[in-house]
Every structure is written in C-alpha cells, then in structure tokens.
Amino acid sequence: MRDTNRINKKWVRAAQLYAEGCPVSEIAETVKTSQTTIRNWIRNPEFAEFADEIRSEYYQQFFGHVAVLADEALQKMVEIMRSKKVPSKTVLMAVFKILDINERAAKDRLLVKEQLYNLTNKEHMAEMFEVMDNA
C-alpha cells in the first residue's frame, strides 16, 4: 500500500469511504470538501487503485473473521460429537454437517466474495454514471 503520510489525509479518508460504497455526497460531507473534488478524485486512476486496495483489505479482514467463527463453530460440533451424553443420532448429524460445511466452504467463500464485490461495484457504477453525467 502507498505511503499515506505523503498523501492528503482527506484523500485517504475519501478513498476509504469510497471503498465502503458511500455516496459522493456523504464522502464530501465527511471529509469536508466539495462533491466536485470527490468526483475529480474518483476519476483519478491512482485514487481508484488505492480504493481497490482498501476494499481488498476489507475482504481479507471479513474472511478472516468468518474463518475464526467457522472454526469455533466446528470445534463446538466436535465437542458435541465426542460427548458421551449426546445421542448417537445427534453425533451422526453433526458429522454430516461438518462434512457438508467442509465441502461447501470454498464455494461459499467465492460466492460471498463475488456478492460483496458486486454490491460495492453497483454503488461505484452509480457513482461513475453520476460523475459522467456531471462531466
């Protein structure tokens, strides 16, 4: 990632908000600059690249949290499976569930990533059309 000390702090904050899918009006209000300035930044390829880097970091953080929660859930299921107090039918259901989760995990991660990307891109597409309309 770029050396953010050399870049205007407003520019960096605007890129973060843009990466989160915030509208131009909200970005401008938050960083206390004009919407025209924000639209000019959005047209700047370096700004777009920086926002994409931030968005990628958000995705990585999100999937890191999901992985931790999934691991905790699987550990709980293993505890249930190994418990002598749990009926064998419940243990068998837990085993099948773990196998099913394991099989679908890669597919689900890809699907969620695509959905998140599409959601943020829809916001950005709307912004791009707005920028083009005002050009």
Distances (CA, A) of 132 to 9, 92, 105, 106: 26, 58, 40, 38
pTM of the model: 0.51
Neighbours of 9 (CB within 10 A): 10
The answer to whether the CB of 44 falls within 8 A of the CB of 33 is no
The answer to whether the CB of 31 falls within 8 A of the CB of 134 is no
Which residues 6+ apart lie within 8 Å of 63 measured at CB? 109, 112, 113
Distance CA 73, CA 78 (A): 9
For tokens 């009926």, what's the residue? Answer: 87
- 127, pLDDT greater than 90: no
Distances (CA, A) of 5 to 9, 12, 50, 135: 8, 10, 14, 31
pLDDT in tens, 6-28: 458 999 999 999 998 899 999 99
pLDDT in tens, 37-91: 999 999 999 998 999 889 888 878 877 777 777 778 778 877 877 777 878 777 7
First to last CA, the chain: 30
Name the DSSP class of 20: T
